[in-house]
Chains A and B, each alone.
Chain A
Amino acid sequence: MKVSLFVTCIVDAVFPKVGIATTRLLEASGCEVDFPIGQTCCGQPAFNSGYADEARHVARTLLEAFADADAVVSPSGSCVGMIRHYYPALFAGDPALAEEARRLAEKTYELSQFLVRRLQKVDFGGRFPHRVTFHPSCHGSRLLGVREEPLELLRHVRDLELVDLPYARDCCGFGGTFSVKMSEISSAMAEEKAENVLGSGADVLVSTDMGCLMNIGGTLSRRGARVRVMHLAELLAEAAGLTEEVTA
């Protein structure tokens, strides 16, 4: 199956390892992976701040980059939520673009959603002998309804002990520009989430979105906590021995 990767700007610029892990997992699932170079960002920072024109302008890079793709897969519930939930309305003013937006929305998947639902691939092999807790991202779980898929993938990793995260479904306080515009409220939310992560007794925190993880991870690291923070793709790839150096 041919798959086009939408890596997201944050993974591209800050967390390339997550993009590499995503690529390797898709390839290990038998997909032919393509990375259309014209892609940049889904437009969410501008959209959520009320700048719809700016969001539309940037979002067009995705409409163009993925026009010919069969399926688009992304390691972010939030960015996929933006595409699936908001693109059709964002482009409603232009019938041709609206049609492209609708088609893109239909064929775009969050990574765990694609692996479990589309490919029915839940076991990548390998072992991960650690105590792991899972933070469900708000947009992944609420906008996309991705709830069981990440857990199903984690449950298939041998020697992985999955422990409950108290108040798991409470937002970590990231919220994109919210984390800067209302940074004190955002920090208070992140503090509570970090407390709960520590309370879970896990050595590893895993999620499906790097926005949440850099927020919770940044809070944990400022406290000097020794919890390892990983994207689901990184964990699965590491367990399965699908790692690769980040060099160019």
Chain B
Amino acid sequence: MSAQSSVRHRANIALRDDFLRGAVHFTTDRLRNRKQAVTEDFGNWEAWRDRGEAIRRHTIEHLDFYLAQFADNLERLGAHVHFCANANEALAVVTDIVRDKAARRVVKSKSMVTEEVHLNHHLEQLGVQVIETDLGEYIVQLAHETPSHIIIPAIHKTREQIKALFEQDGGQNLTTETRDLVAFARRRLREMYLTADIGITGCNFGIAETGSIALFTNEGNADLVANLPKTHIVFMGMERVLPTLADLEVFAHLLPKSATGQNTITYLSMITGPRRPGDKDGAEEMHVIILDNGRSRQLGDPDFQAVLHCIRCGACLNVCPVYRQIGGHAYGSVYPGPIGAVLSPLLEGGEAYQDLPYASSLCGACYEACPVKIPLHDMLVKERQRFVAKTGGKTGEKAAFAAYRVTFADHRRYLRAIRIARRLQGAFARDGVIQAKIGPLAGWTGARDFPALGDVTFREWWIARKRGTKRG
């Protein structure tokens, strides 16, 4: 891995961007504070988490059954179901639909799975105009960027930056007031809904017992995307099913409360099949693309299957002290933050993103925030173990831990090593601290003092004290 492509390199660029860090601090603070308030007010939050985890665990343990039931119900309703093993298969399905409909314009509501397969780029190459209708996604699209947060795609943008982007898109007399900015986007996007040939949405949950697609939005844009164009394409990860509508009730609490600290979502849209005779609205044709793309590889893996429980609420990002410092783009992957650091190397399966699990202090805030209790902090360690087992580890680090193994496995060798280090540090230690940038300490001492070893170890004190007691 070259230095430029490492998370550390990208993080160092982000750490110098005060605008970015200010914006991320401001928004994640608001989200996590609201979440804490709303869950305390709601009560029994731990019991709700347990329930959420139990439902997700059961669903993923029986994923084949529920996916088959879901697909059967969709087909019974008249929808077309496409199981796709990877991004290329999913994009090929989209190509066929676009050509079949001679589509020129596509409107989209928010979907991380479409980011995963780089759908917008593909559509543009087919000569199709793509318009993101989620406000945050629209901003990111105007900036020619990618989302830096699962739920708040433009979290890294300030009001001033957004105003400038909207002005480039034709906005006139804009202020940085939310009302003005939203009004411009609404006017602009309304034209698009009415003239689009295809609407593409994600899927928060697919309900197996009914074949329904549940969509959570705050702007109501998914309703318009799904219902106004003649053709509706749904993109979903294969893990995003729930057995029943009763299960959805649990997640209608867990998802908005965890994601943004909202008690309820503003719009919960349920789409059950394409337009039926007599329906007042709805797409005439509906396609559901169910994407694997590395997910099924986690099934049956005792260490990582639970990553499929994730409902993409982003709560782990909002509490992560690393995400807080570096934002989402530094991760370099579609999914940022703790869930991204765990999921990206698993979905990709190769060399890419293998340094992401190291971008964590293992503080466990992510696990604590997770509404379905995925042990992300443990998974990060297991991914590090997998990396070492596969590659043998990085040369310098490997040597260091080989030395650690020998030295620390025997208390006599360990004490000898401390005594040697005590003598060697003499040249660097001043007033009990080391400030020199030496060897592996250089990273530490760049911004912090490092404590020097004491003149006496605890064990030397202990032995002397015991002797003294005996003598005394």
Contact = CB atoms under 8 A, between A and B. Distances in A.
Interface stretch (A11-19, A157-165, A198-206, A235-243): A11-19
Interface of A: 7, 9, 11-17, 19-20, 23, 35, 37-41, 43, 45-54, 57-58, 60-61, 138-139, 142-143, 169-171, 173-176, 178-192, 214-215, 217-219, 221-222, 246-248
Nearest to A10: B451
Contacts of B362: 48, 138, 175-176, 178
A43 B447 CA distance: 27
A11 B458 contact: yes
B443 A179 contact: yes
Interface in B369-426: 381, 383-389, 393, 397, 401-402, 404-405, 408-411, 414, 418
A98 to B, nearest CB: 16
A179 B451 CA distance: 14
Given A51-B393, A175-B360, A184-B15, 12 more contacts: A35-B459, A40-B408, A46-B405, A51-B385, A142-B365, A170-B365, A173-B321, A175-B362, A178-B361, A186-B443, A189-B321, A192-B321
21 contacts: A9-B408, A13-B453, A13-B454, A14-B452, A19-B462, A35-B458, A49-B384, A50-B387, A57-B409, A138-B364, A139-B364, A173-B321, A173-B361, A180-B444, A182-B11, A182-B358, A192-B324, A217-B451, A218-B450, A246-B455, A248-B464
The SS class assigned to the A binding surface is helix
B322 A15 contact: no
B401 A14 contact: no
B461 A180 contact: no
A51 B388 contact: yes
Contacts of B446: 183-184, 187
Interface residues of B, number: 65
A54 B365 contact: no
Contacts of A188: 15, 325
Contact of B11 (A19, A57, A176, A185): A185
B52 to A, nearest CB: 19
Contact of A183 (B444, B459, B462): B444
Nearest to A186: B361
Nearest to A45: B404
Contacts of A170: 321, 324, 365
A246 B325 contact: no
B460 A248 contact: yes
Contacts of A61: 408-411
Contact of A191 (B408, B435, B440, B447): B447
A9 B361 CA distance: 20
